[in-house]
Structure 1
């Protein structure tokens, strides 16, 4: 994937040996009931062994060696909700918090969906309906083109080359909303939309509607400046959210966010970047775009991974991989895998070669 190293991107450390569900057997018993860990903070979490799954034990150590080599702090594989692998490196532990970086965008997407299902927002409405006019420095007629859905889809038309700050002076018009895809921190304005519509702080609404329902105990939004906050939690809490995503917004039979919204969120959201949903990255599409580039790349984002996989991806290689065909969630937290943190790198492709070796 040498074409990608031309772009020194700020966010995501994101063809050919495909491992889609049509070419590989499902690694689990399809009738096994999905497991959800207790939501009361109980540390007990059911497990499933490599042997029970019929996986290749000889592929485990090469995977662990690679993870440690690439500055990983924690790694989890869930199958049907049960922990198959859980490993910590470099002094990190099960109780150590770590930042999600841009992988946390998917938390904002999910809570936006919750607010819509409660009837307090409509993602087809313009952002200024909730924040008032002047939340950008775009001409008023252009600002009023920007809907909440544009923020979810990264096609607001605002300038993505002005840094992280989301104050009005830094949110400048480049193109009409819906006509240009560009990875931009303006998505965070959705948090202000939800706060305004709910009459609560973003944190309080998030905690009551999502965090506490999943038992993501102790997780918190930490201010990083420039009007942004970053979510921190343990690795298991990140895995809980991945398990919710695997189950299309349901948690142990309870609807947290409705399946219709979740299906929209994890499918192509616009016709420019086919590899992007509502703040989720999508594998297996015909083409994709990268942050800070208007170029189109043909093929799947991670060709060594299953085609139905969707992903929450953050700076320094924070990862939530969700693979419905395998009933699998994979979590990786840590420092940047490589010295130069690019949007996509050989790390993702090699990692999935080694994960796939477990069950192929």
Structure 2
């Protein structure tokens, strides 16, 4: 008995040593996993959204030589007749940053909940719309000549997966036919399983290739499937032989001249998390919106073709859904309205008819509550109407910043 207990003790000791060794070896991955599990916690969400690189793998990018945005006549939003009192809206939606451009000039700007102008804020799914601009550039240049080509032509590792048979246009429109649970509040959902793969340094390409369930034929219907956007990234990398980070900084960010050098969250292989891992200042999200508002032109240079802007921002998803090529449209969209949207209240609202852009970053844990999206759209429209009226007024040096809260 004593000899058996001694042997058992050695076994237990060995297991303890092994577990300790694995914990040390995987310490960073385990730390990232713990961070993911508390990423949206009420007491951490604001700080987390401005410090994503401290929790995930990332790759820095060059934002080019900063090009200051002009400054226009300030909007006194706190005193304006809006669908909801402006200060109440800011507080209830847990907004951390907002920039309003009218005619390309800043007319309102504010930062809240202890955040700063220079914070690099996570895009979440706003990044999808940015990737659409890159697809348009490559399509116009013939690098990706046919949007109706199958994704497996450029990403052969997807053969045999649920993506086999889907076209580039299908995934642009979120009509891949792949079955995917996008519920952020379900621990076992596909979107949250994907998050754990990312945190543990796994392969996003492998995760995409591992999708085997289909809800229907490609192109038959629309369903928001975030991993579709990663597949777009795989197509781009296959067509160019280059990383998304290199392409985006070269083709979009350097020409725009961002305020700060941005970064992408990446998986453990250094592959950019293109469906939601972009990190920019709120001003730079507004710059991207202004590029679209100007039909792809920036300071005399046609960065993205006007034809692509028109095609990609038109509602073309099957079933009459207000969705284009990774861009959203309101159900009752007026001509020129389109927006990029990310979870927890990230927006780039674009009203091309009024030449108004509104970039908003938030940490809104109630972003899916009934009526919240409609309320936000009503607010954006009201602000756009006000901002349009400043365009014929002489510009001044400094816009009035909205009141900042601690």
TM normalised by structure 2 equals 0.66
Alignment of 1:1-360 (within 5 A): 40-42=65-67, 44-50=68-74, 58-59=79-80, 62-122=85-145, 123-132=147-156, 134-135=158-159, 137-138=161-162, 143-144=164-165, 146-161=166-181, 163-164=190-191, 165=194, 166-185=207-226, 186-216=228-258, 217-223=260-266, 228-229=273-274, 230-283=277-330, 285=331, 300=332, 308-336=336-364, 339-342=365-368, 345-357=370-382, 359=385
Q: Give distance in 1, aligned partners of 2:215 and 2:292.
A: 33
The 3 A distance-change label for structure 1 pair 244 and 352 is same
Q: Give distance in 1, aligned partners of 2:144 and 2:108.
A: 40
Kindly name which structure, 1 or 2, has the bigger radius of gyration based on alpha carbons: 2
Q: Give distance in 2, aligned partners of 1:241 and 1:171.
A: 35
Q: Deviation per CA, 1:207-259, whole angstroms, max 9, x where unpaired?
A: 10111111124111112679735100111110110101111211122111111
Which position in structure 2 is the counterpart of 1:293? none
Is the 8 Å Cα contact of residues 177 and 220 (structure 2) preserved in structure 1?
Answer: yes
TM normalised by structure 1 equals 0.74
Which position in structure 2 is the counterpart of 1:297? none
Normalized per residue, the structure richer in helix is 2
Which position in structure 1 is the counterpart of 2:199? none
- Segment drifting more, 211-220 vs 229-238: 211-220
Is the 8 Å Cα contact of residues 76 and 86 (structure 1) preserved in structure 2?
Answer: yes
Q: What is the deviation of 1:355?
A: 4.9
The 3 A distance-change label for structure 1 pair 117 and 171 is farther
Which position in structure 2 is the counterpart of 1:14? none
Is the 8 Å Cα contact of residues 98 and 109 (structure 2) preserved in structure 1?
Answer: yes
Is the 8 Å Cα contact of residues 358 and 380 (structure 2) preserved in structure 1?
Answer: no
Q: Deviation per CA, 1:70-105, whole angstroms, max 9, x where unpaired?
A: 211101110010001011111211101110101110
Q: Give distance in 2, aligned partners of 1:345 and 1:83.
A: 31
Q: Give distance in 2, aligned partners of 1:223 and 1:133.
A: 19
The 3 A distance-change label for structure 1 pair 39 and 59 is farther
Q: Deviation per CA, 1:104-163, whole angstroms, max 9, x where unpaired?
A: 10011111111111211132211011011544523xxx712x111111000011112361
How many residue pairs were aligned? Answer: 293
Is the 8 Å Cα contact of residues 310 and 321 (structure 1) preserved in structure 2?
Answer: yes
- Aligned partner of residue 295 in structure 2, secondary structure: coil
Is the 8 Å Cα contact of residues 50 and 57 (structure 1) preserved in structure 2?
Answer: no
Is the 8 Å Cα contact of residues 219 and 237 (structure 1) preserved in structure 2?
Answer: no
